Amino acid sequence: MKSAFRTSMTWLHRWAGIVFSALMFFIFVTGTLGYFHFELDRWLKPERPLAMSLPTTFTPSPELSVFRIPTDRAPTDKGPRTISTAELIRLGVQRLKEQAPDDAIWWGIILPTERNGNFWVEWQPPRGEDGQRPEREAQYLDLSREEPLWVQPRQTGGGEALYRLHWRLHYLPDIAAYWIVGLCSLLMLVGLVTGVIIHRRIFREFFTLRLYRGARSWLDFHNLSSVLALPFQIMIVYSGLLFFALTFMEPIVSARYGDEGVRVFQHEAFPDDEPEPRAGEPAESVPILPLLTLAQRESGQRIVQIYILYPGDISARLSFYLPEPSPAEYQGKPHRIMYRASTGERLEGGTQQYGGAASVEKTLIALHEGLFADWPLRWLYILCSLLGILMIATGILFWLKKRRSRDPTAYATVERFYAAVLVGLPTAIALYFLANRLLPAHWPARADWEMHSLFLGWLALGLYASWCPLHAVWKTQLTFAALAWGSVPVVNALTSDRHLGVSLAAGDWVLAGVDLSALVMALSFGLMARHGSRRSVMATESRRQNLEEVSC
């Protein structure tokens, strides 16, 4: 009885650790994709036009700020075509007047940036009769033809759906997902701190990476990847926990602030300017362009997001959003410049007046999201995230290799599970990209089915891993991954006109970058499959020779 109990506890202990490590791997991989979610969005919406080239110098006047229009056609004698910010805004306002409902809650005008590359308008339709808020609608301006053309891209979860996976876990209720991800983050933080303490020779073995030494190499990889990006790992896990602070500590907030506690607390901690309610009295808006000039002159920065709350109403508010500030600039820094849309009167507010604790929280969250990061810093974020993924994966492989050497059969199920997680997840993400191109473009449920494709594909890979012979499980999973990622640019070329031939020719590196990254992934997985199979053949050969020697 006692022995059975101990056995079942051992099983539970082992599998709790295994599931936790798999979840952390999932959170890190999908979170890493989040650093490029705007870029992935562009690839996942091939109807969007190619990226415009941004003005090289900043000028507050929208008439003088000029974008170059890309074209996938042969160049004309007239030279490159351009359009000013002023003209874009005029076209945008006209489109919003034509398309958005009169009682829309807000209108948005988004100018091209390095990351999104396109100009678009968006609006929030009013709540339906059932009280539900419908999805916002967006239309992109395509200027590659003679006449401006407004396009509505396909329904897709886009890069944001992938990014959201890392804290919403997709099929789970939000609160359950927050608790699971929060607990994983807490354990990870404990693991990072204790890992530094138990690593006795942390300084002596700094920069040490011994290749081709079996389990030793995996441990070196694990130590190296965790130590090199340690400031990033601690920041990302700790700030990740801060996101769930109110979920974890809701009873404390409710005890202090009552039933509406969380809302009141948010209002006190992060005070924001309450907009005037909709008056219901119609009024024309003043022209946006002179106010944009004033706002850009006041801030000294290029403004790319313009929003009008309650458009067409006398109380309508025009907000010019400033670029995301760098960390530690959240106290007293303006984040938007506001005007009354009906009169052009400058409104007070728009400044982040947070207290000390709230500023620390905002700074850490800004560091977590990295929205302020330019291209070099964004790539450094990616590098550190990849080191985090490597840390988890190599930790798992080292653990597995050590136990497998003691008893290979006892850990067969665990090995199959880990193969399906470590290699199956990247393959499933490739399937998400493929589903985006292969599902019918106008199918209303396609956004849901893109995500179902990811999880169904992952399930299928898991089932295959549980059925396939153990010695071939890694090789087959790696081969599938190489094939899946390799087919992403091919399927893109066959199903859209936003393939490498077009994006490279137009110098649209954001779009080309996704296809090129897919090829790099395919190549990496292919090399790993080849290298793994060569080592496996060598191991089989040496085992055979040993057996022959023994029999002789």
User: Exactly one of 169, 367, 423, 528 binds another protein (CB under 8 A); which one?
Assistant: 367
Select the residue interacting with another protein from 150, 257, 372, 449 (CB under 8 A): 372
Residues 41, 511: contact at Cβ < 8 Å?
Answer: no
Which residues between 207 and 226 bind another protein (CB under 8 A)? Answer: 207-212, 224
Judge contact between 398 and 219, C-beta under 8 A.
yes
- Work out which of 384, 391, 419, 521 binds another protein, going by CB under 8 A: 384
Q: CB of residue 372 vs another protein: minimum separation in angstroms? A: 7
**Rounded Cα distance, 358 and 354, in Å:** 6
Which segment (117-125, 197-205, 241-249, 283-291) binds another protein by CB under 8 A?
Answer: 197-205
Residue placing its CB nearer to another protein in the complex, 212 or 467: 212
Residue 456, judged by CB atoms within 10 A of its CB (0-12, 13-18, 19+), counts as middle
User: Cα–Cα distance between 466 and 22 in angstroms, integer?
Assistant: 16
Binding status of residue 231 toward another protein by CB under 8 A = yes
Sketch the per residue contact string, 326 through 355, with another protein: x for CB under 8 A, - otherwise.
xxxx--------------------------
Nearest residue (CB) to another protein, 205 versus 250? 205
CA-closest candidate to residue 417, choices 368, 483, 464 = 464
DSSP state of 53: B
Q: Mark 394-413 with x for binding to another protein (rule: CB under 8 A) and - for no binding.
A: --------------------
What is the end-to-end Cα distance of the chain in Å, rounded?
A: 48
Q: How far is the CB of 166 from another protein (least distance, A)?
A: 20
Asked whether position 299 contacts another protein by CB under 8 A, the answer is no
Q: Give residues 491-550 in contact with another protein (rule: CB under 8 A).
A: none
Only one of the segments 186-194, 264-272, 378-386, 518-526 lies at the binding site for another protein (rule: CB under 8 A); that segment is 378-386
- Is 238 a binding residue for another protein by CB under 8 A? The answer is no
List, in sequence order, every residue forming a beta bridge with 308; answer none if it has no partner.
107, 318
Question: What secondary structure, in 3-state letters, does 123-173 show?
Answer: EECCCCCCCCCCCCEEEEEECCCCCCEEECCCCCCHHHHHHHHHHHCCCCC
How does DSSP assign 429-480, residue by residue? Answer: HHHHHHHHHHS-TT-TTHHHHHHHHHHHHHHHHHHHHHHS-GGGHHHHHHHH
| Least gap, CB of 380 to another protein (angstroms) | 3
**Of 22-30, 40-48, 370-378, 470-478: span binding another protein (CB under 8 A):** 370-378
**Chain centroid, CA 385 distance in Å:** 12
**Beta-sheet pairing, 149-151 with 120-124:** unpaired
Least distance from C-beta 323 to another protein, angstroms? 13
Nearer to another protein (CB atom), residue 11 or residue 206:
206
d(Cα 430, Cα 424) in Å, to the nearest integer? 10
The amino acid occupying position 185 is S
Q: Is the dihedral of CA 280, 137, 456, 176 positive or negative?
A: negative
- Residue placing its CB nearer to another protein in the complex, 255 or 527: 527
DSSP run (H or E) holding 389: helix 375-406
Torsion of CA 517, 521, 524, 525, to 10 degrees: -170
**Which window, 125-133, 368-376, 471-479, 533-541, contacts another protein (CB under 8 A)?**
368-376
CA distance 88 to 82: 11
Rounded Cα–Cα distance for residues 549 and 551 (Å) = 6
Q: How far is CA 187 from CA 174, 241, 386, 414, in A?
A: 20, 11, 20, 21
**Of 234 and 483, CB closest to another protein:** 234
Cα four-point dihedral sign 405, 409, 410, 416? positive
Stretches 97-105, 156-164, 205-213, 395-403: which one binds another protein (CB under 8 A)? 205-213
Residue among 280, 300, 376, 444 that touches another protein (CB under 8 A)? 376
By CB under 8 A, tell whether 200 contacts another protein. Answer: no
By C-beta, is 152 or 301 nearer to another protein? 301
Site string for another protein, 310-329 (x = CB under 8 A): ----------------xxxx
Residue 356 Cβ vs another protein, minimum distance, rounded to whole Å: 16
Contacts with another protein: how many residues (CB under 8 A)?
Answer: 30
Q: Which is nearer to another protein, 30 or 363 (CB)?
A: 363
User: 354 and 269 in contact (C-beta within 8 Å)?
Assistant: yes
- Asked if 150 interacts with another protein (CB under 8 A), we say no
The nearest distance, CB 213 to another protein, in angstroms, is 10
Which CB atom, from 380 or from 502, has the smaller least distance to another protein? 380
Nearer to another protein, 229 or 253 (CB): 229
Q: Applying CB under 8 A, which part among 6-14, 41-49, 263-271, 372-380 lies near another protein?
A: 372-380
Residues that bind another protein (CB under 8 A): 203-212, 224, 228-229, 231-232, 326-329, 363, 367, 372-373, 376-377, 380-381, 383-384, 387
